Amino acid sequence: MTDAIYHRGPDDAGYWSDGEHGIALGHRRLAIIDLSPAGQQPMRSCSNRFVLVFNGEIYNHLDMRSELEASADVCGWRGRSDTETLLAGFDAWGIAATVERAIGMFAFAVWDREARVLTLGRDRVGEKPLYYGWQGRGDDAVFLFGSELKALRAHPACAADIDRAALCLQLRHSYVPAPHSIYRGIAKLPPGCLLTVSAGRPEPVLHTYWSAAQQWTAGAATPFAGTPAQAVDALDTLLSEAVGAQMMADVPLGAFLSGGVDSSAIVALMQARSTRPVQTFSIGFHEHGFDEAPHAKAVARHLGTDHTELYVTAAQARSVIPRLPSMYDEPFSDSSQIPTFLVSQLARRHVTVSLSGDAGDELFCGYTRYGFAAHLWKSISAAPLPVRRLAARGITRVPVASWNRLARTLGPCLPRAMRFANTGDKLHKGADIMASASLDAVYLGLVSHWDDPAALVIGGHEPHTLLRGAAPVLAGLGSVERMMALDTLTYLPDDILVKVDRAAMSVSLETRVPFLDHRVIEFAARLPLALKLRDGASKWALRQVLYRYVPQALIERPKMGFGVPIGDWLRGPLRDWAETLLAESRLRSEGFFAPALLRTRWREHLDGRRNWQYHLWDVLMFQSWLEQQASPHREAGDAALHCPAPPAVAAPCPLAT
């Protein structure tokens, strides 16, 4: 099981087992703090009561050590690792109280030898992954857990039965949201949760120790009452402290830099705290509209960082695709996974830890869809729902190709602001939104790919999620804040953080996200919307912090996504690859997708009648992943994997991570 996740910890391996009680713990180590043998895991507490395997970093662990020493609740230190600090806390304060004190990103499993209880824990927002579940039947049932599904799949008890309901969710969102996984009986531990299980109580018990939803609600109830200038000062201080704490490392450290607001702010604060140039990394593309490298280079030059950029060709970017199924371990189809891997690979050549600017959009109102959806809902909700649905049917009765022809004919007569690419696609999407009964339904439409995935998945059904049928209570939030909160609960942990973690850890690079210091999140939740969206500018307060370090002229430009031209590739160099995976005979043999619907969309995309790039990429990532499952030692549809082989280790694991 640990061999399967060798890439997450190539520096060391460790094992501990208790045959009498049927438990085994395994660990792969990526050494970041205390590189000595004193940091090896699994690690026992000083009292010998707790045995811990831990993935992540506790940024305030030295403060926790000081608190333990001041109260004489520690029997002496063997090393300098945060793992040992956690164990000392477990001995002194208990598991829950220790986790509530911790500031960091983490996933862990700790065995209480006295109570014979296993506890799993995950950080507040979900930076580090943790899967778990019972597999097998009767006396052969085994409780498995691990950082990636491939670790669980390595155990002979793991059935790896595909969950068609989870597949429906992936087609809608491009990811499988927690607590679901692509396998039946295997779940993701939700962020901010602890889970306990024991032989005497085999049904897992969940306990929430921190809730992003509650923080957004509390922020609306007690908003920041200071002046805009005071808000900017407070944010500058908080972010600076978070960045400083996350620069803790005994190995080389750097940062991703796109030249946008979020990454530039993180790098600026890093450089302000550093006595030497911070190492920064960006990648560039030759395709127009996808290249941010010049902007990153300008920011790096101003801040004086040690900047490395790499221009990659479209062919080099496409060469990553065969690696994606094994990298992401379950179907995942956010196409920005490709450049994310490339920049991670670049950074790993120079550093072991890289900070990123992720989460700035969700916390400080950076996505244009927030304002667009709120404005759209305000406009359409004035009309009765039956009238809107009638109008929507009228729009969708006209084929997309006909709308596109009309737009091309009228284009020269229209103002530039009203000329759109793929007019027909946008009108049909807009019609679906027009027929929505609530703001939540509008937002679901905007963030969905397949609107009815159960129509495509044979035998599939779509379970309720926080965006569909099980919305959280977010009292006191306005329209825009509600969408930001929903993204913090769903898109951020299940897409953005998954994308970055798997891409970076596939090359043994640790990533850290200063915006996800929970004190920054709690402050952002208290900031009134007027300090986030102000005078037409998004992320207003964050921009004011950044402009203290970087001239506004280097930052102000239209927002650019971190994507690749998937639609064009599918009509061109990826066409044969996609045709193989979408062949009708293959679809019928595999039995997951309704061939007629899928083949129709494939033909429409190839003919240029519709742009189904995201819908098709969702399916292709599942198909590619499915092929890799059938041949786990090969990259899907391509050559064999070329990875450094881990050392052979024989470790029977009745209960393992």
- Whole-number pLDDT of residue 607: 93
User: Is beta strand 43-44 parallel, antiparallel or unpaired with respect to 142-146?
Assistant: unpaired
Annotated binding-site residue numbers for L-glutamine: 82
Cβ pair 224, 527 in contact under 8 A: yes
User: Is beta strand 353-355 parallel, antiparallel or unpaired with respect to 253-256?
Assistant: parallel
DSSP 199: S
User: What pTM value is reported for the model?
Assistant: 0.92
- Look at the domain 213-365+504-554 and name its fold: Rossmann fold (3.40.50)
Strand partners, 312: 285
Q: Where are the domains of the chain?
A: 3-211, 213-365+504-554, 382-482, 566-630
- Whole-number pLDDT of residue 64: 96
- Residue that the structure tokens 């986030």 belong to: 532
- Whole-number pLDDT of residue 290: 63
Residue 102: how many other CB atoms lie within 10 Å:
23
Question: What is the radius of gyration, based on Cα positions, of the chain?
Answer: 25
For the chain (657 residues), the mean pLDDT of every run of 10, in chain order, is 97 96 96 92 96 98 95 86 96 97 98 97 98 94 97 96 98 97 98 95 96 98 97 98 96 96 98 97 80 89 97 94 96 96 97 98 95 87 90 88 82 67 77 86 92 96 94 94 97 98 98 98 98 92 97 81 84 97 97 97 93 96 94 46 31 35
Closest C-alpha among 533, 575, 556 to residue 318: 575
Question: What whole-number distance in Å separates Cα of residue 512 and Cα of residue 242?
Answer: 10
Annotated binding-site residue numbers for ATP: 283, 356-357
Angle at 340 between CA 273 and CA 556, to 5 degrees: 60
Closest C-alpha among 430, 446, 517 to residue 480: 446
Strand partners, 52: 43, 110
CA distances from 513 to 98, 164, 178, 496 (A): 21, 33, 20, 11
Question: What whole-number distance in Å separates Cα of residue 233 and Cα of residue 427?
Answer: 44
CATH 3.60.20.10 corresponds to the domain 3-211: yes
Annotated binding-site residue numbers: 82, 283, 356-357
